[in-house]
Structure 1
């Protein structure tokens, strides 16, 4: 229980990679705050986390709403006394759409949730960690934030933005003993991948073939990387960490 007495805020934390990460931190003893727009899933996620013997706070709201984000950070600090770690995982995937056919509404939604949501989260997490005397933030981008794919231009734009914001925030926050890194998962078990594979089996097979390890990653493998970057990688900041089966190697 190496994180006993510590707290973590996970956006998008009641399903997929977010929930896997919340559970990984809980197994290490951290109290967990889950912030998600899918309030209907919060009770089940909280039960899973609390079953591991730690406290869990669930907060309903959107990472695109500044008041909601500020409130989520304030609620975490009020519940646990401070904020040590954050994993900004809330995200939205893109349908396979040629650039000229992509609607402005979908482009805006992808940028809002993936990029604006990460920006707002860090905007309020960093001051809370500064008050604590330091901390660590891990954002969630994608292998597509390092090597883009055709027909997902808006998604790549948003995830490239997350990588860029991570590096800029790392430079700003270093003086406050706050490290900021970003994980870049490849194809990973979870709702987004399963839906993509069901809707586009041929494209999913092509995507999988680009992963030299020859398989889809597990949510828990990404969660392990997040834990490493937050707890163990104490001399690492501004780093984009691929968890992609070799997808971005070459």
Structure 2
């Protein structure tokens, strides 16, 4: 039976690389993004490459839209077997230093990296538990594990996300539902972030070197995380 992958917060970097890798394994792909036109363009690209895909536009930080997207996907494809949460912020959402962090500057990072993963989990976990099978995969960054003051507001949100997911993994042990977290410390090929940094290198503080990885390489890593299921977290691009 064909399985379904749903990517919440689909983008041209990690989303496309992951979709192609799972599509190569015969998965259907549900493309979930806030911008309907972008979601459809990404879907058209996957379909042109021979992958069974469809767009389900939704704001992944809105509970009603997340649940509606899940209903539409299951109506079109059947149960969601694997969900990837890949929503990320914009460079403009960051603050310049830890001392500049205030409550307002945490709103977007928390919405994207804590609240939205919770919404996805609550929409999908009960059915996965009932079936005794499923995978919930999440994307994080390196500003929580390797403090970067110019990304400090996201570091706070990522720390909260990690705490939630570690607890979730413990609670779901023995249910057949796998929880995995991919901590990414690289610029992803073809991503919006890579393009912005290339166009505006001044956005990266002097002395900070950010390694790069293609979206295909990250797709392979996500596939390994899903298929091997031998760890909760996997780091890529982190300094020793």
Residue 34 to residue 128, structure 1, CA distance change in 2 (3 Å): farther
Question: Within 1, Cα distance between the matches of 2:100 and 2:63?
Answer: 30
Residue 226 to residue 50, structure 1, CA distance change in 2 (3 Å): same
Residue 12 of structure 1: which of 1, 9, 12 is its match?
9
Aligned to 2:233: 240
The secondary structure found in structure 2 opposite 1:184 is strand
Aligned to 1:132: 131
Residue 29 of structure 2: which of 23, 29, 32 is its match?
32
- RMSD across aligned positions (CA): 2.1
Residue 50 to residue 169, structure 1, CA distance change in 2 (3 Å): same
User: Superposition pairs for residues 1-250 of structure 1, below 5 Å?
Assistant: 5-93=2-90, 94-102=93-101, 104-188=103-187, 189=189, 190-201=191-202, 203=204, 206-208=207-209, 215-230=211-226, 232-234=227-229, 236-237=230-231, 239-244=232-237, 246-247=238-239, 249=240
The secondary structure found in structure 2 opposite 1:158 is helix
**Range moving further from structure 2, 60-69 or 126-135:** 126-135
Per the TM alignment, residue 89 of structure 1 is displaced from its structure 2 partner at its CA by 0.3
The secondary structure found in structure 2 opposite 1:124 is helix
The answer as to whether partners of 2:61 and 2:116 remain within 8 angstroms in 1 is yes
**Given the two structures, how large is their TM-score scaled by the length of structure 2?**
0.89
The secondary structure found in structure 2 opposite 1:122 is helix
Question: Within 2, Cα distance between the matches of 1:8 and 1:202?
Answer: 34
Question: Within 2, Cα distance between the matches of 1:91 and 1:202?
Answer: 17
The secondary structure found in structure 2 opposite 1:143 is coil
Question: Within 2, Cα distance between the matches of 1:131 and 1:55?
Answer: 26
Per the TM alignment, residue 36 of structure 1 is displaced from its structure 2 partner at its CA by 0.8
Gapped runs of 5+ residues in structure 2?
A: none
Per the TM alignment, residue 149 of structure 1 is displaced from its structure 2 partner at its CA by 0.6
The answer as to whether partners of 1:145 and 1:160 remain within 8 angstroms in 2 is yes
1:115-156 superposed Cα distances (whole Å, 9 cap, x missing partner): 111111111121232243311111000122322211221111
